[in-house]
Amino acid sequence: MKNKFSAEVKSQIKHYVYRLIDPRNGNTFYVGKGQKNRVFDHVKAELTFERDEDATTTKIDTIKSIRNAGLKVIHIIHRHGMEEEVALEVEAALIDAYPGLSNEKRGYRSNDYGPMNVQQIQSLYGTEAIEKITEKVIIIKIRQDVVDEKDGDIYNAVRSCWKLCEDNAKKTDYVFAVVDGLVKEVYENIKWNKNSECTDRLEFVGNRSLELEKKYKDKRIPEKYRQKGAANPCRYTF
């Protein structure tokens, strides 16, 4: 089969979610969404990498290894005929369901609605919600598994590296570390700097604000900070 759909097929399938599978082991190594011939773009001979990613990403390395072995990537259309909003949700669920993917970004709204055990769900929705945040705050949302990777150190898990406007970031007085929807730590005396490894992103240093934690710790952030725009884990309260 040629690496393209016919005009009739393209007009019928609408938005879809796909998986790329390594024929050497049967493992799914990438999940994406798209329209028309998007599923084939990753392995077109004339493309070595996409405009928004480095040429040495795991995905590209895997594709090259498959081709060097004389094999072809297996393309699976996991679900089709969707509107874009639904496709985003399906893509996010699959990204969460397949560990070890080469995707460089987590799925849509994964920081808010991604996998949680039942205790985390109960804790999130069974706790008191904050009615209003009156201070100038940047909310940074991370997941518990990210904290676990830092040996439980929330500060090191949340302090870098974020795509933020430096001028706006410097207007904030506090940073809230929000883990699975709940405020876990609050930092003050914030200083923002360029990340040493990724200069288009920022990181901060700061001190725990134990006083403000008395007001907000272990409470659920307002719903408006959990909805649209949540693909970005950083949200301003002003």
Higher pLDDT, 22 or 1: 22
Does residue 1 belong to any structural domain of this protein? no
Judgement on whether residues 12 and 104 belong to the same structural domain of the protein: yes
Judgement on whether residues 133 and 79 belong to the same structural domain of the protein: no
Q: Over 90: is that where the pLDDT of 18 sits?
A: yes
Bridging pattern class, strands 174-179 and 137-142: parallel
Judgement on whether residues 193 and 85 belong to the same structural domain of the protein: no
Q: What is the average pLDDT value for the chain, to the nearest integer?
A: 85
> What percentage of the chain exceeds 90 in pLDDT?
47
Judgement on whether residues 198 and 229 belong to the same structural domain of the protein: yes
Judgement on whether residues 80 and 187 belong to the same structural domain of the protein: no
**pLDDT at residue 29, rounded to an integer:** 93
**pLDDT at residue 230, rounded to an integer:** 52
**pLDDT at residue 228, rounded to an integer:** 52
**pLDDT at residue 111, rounded to an integer:** 65
> In total, how many domains does the chain have?
2
**pLDDT at residue 55, rounded to an integer:** 45
Last residue of a domain, one of 57, 79, 108: 108
Which residue's entry shows tokens 């904030």? 172
Distance CA 183, CA 111 (A): 13
Does residue 2 belong to any structural domain of this protein? no
Provide the residue count of the chain.
Answer: 238
Does residue 50 belong to any structural domain of this protein? yes
**Least confidently predicted of 44-53, 64-73, 177-186:** 44-53
**pLDDT at residue 229, rounded to an integer:** 45
Q: Over 60: is that where the pLDDT of 204 sits?
A: yes
Does residue 60 belong to any structural domain of this protein? yes
Judgement on whether residues 152 and 193 belong to the same structural domain of the protein: yes
Judgement on whether residues 126 and 101 belong to the same structural domain of the protein: no
Higher pLDDT, 159 or 144: 159
Phi/psi for 77 (5° steps) reads -85, 105
Judgement on whether residues 138 and 227 belong to the same structural domain of the protein: yes
Preceding amide of 165 cis, omega within 30: no
CB 115 within 8 A of CB 121: no
Higher pLDDT, 4 or 66: 66
**pLDDT at residue 51, rounded to an integer:** 45
**pLDDT at residue 46, rounded to an integer:** 36
Q: What separation in angstroms does the CA of 185 have from each of 29, 64, 112, 130, 221?
A: 35, 43, 17, 14, 13
Q: Model confidence at 76, in pLDDT bands (50, 70, 90)?
A: very high
Instruction: Look at residues 146, 238, 224, 131 and name the one whose alpha carbon lies nearest to residue 184.
Output: 146
How many other CB atoms are there within 10 angstroms of residue 231's CB atom? Answer: 15
Report the CATH number that the domain containing residue 62 is assigned in CATH: 3.40.1440.10
Last residue of a domain, one of 81, 108, 135: 108
**pLDDT at residue 215, rounded to an integer:** 94
The predicted-structure confidence for 83-108, as pLDDT tens digits, reads as follows: 998 999 899 889 888 888 887 677 77
Judgement on whether residues 80 and 156 belong to the same structural domain of the protein: no
Q: Model confidence at 6, in pLDDT bands (50, 70, 90)?
A: confident
Distance CA 159, CA 157 (A): 6
Judgement on whether residues 103 and 139 belong to the same structural domain of the protein: no
Last residue of a domain, one of 108, 128, 160: 108
Judgement on whether residues 13 and 92 belong to the same structural domain of the protein: yes
Q: What separation in angstroms does the CA of 36 have from each of 39, 110, 145, 147?
A: 8, 25, 35, 38
**Least confidently predicted of 115-124, 193-202, 208-217:** 115-124
Q: Over 60: is that where the pLDDT of 19 sits?
A: yes
Judgement on whether residues 232 and 122 belong to the same structural domain of the protein: yes
Does residue 200 belong to any structural domain of this protein? yes
Domain span holding position 226: 118-236
The predicted-structure confidence for 31-62, as pLDDT tens digits, reads as follows: 999 999 999 988 774 344 444 444 447 888 88
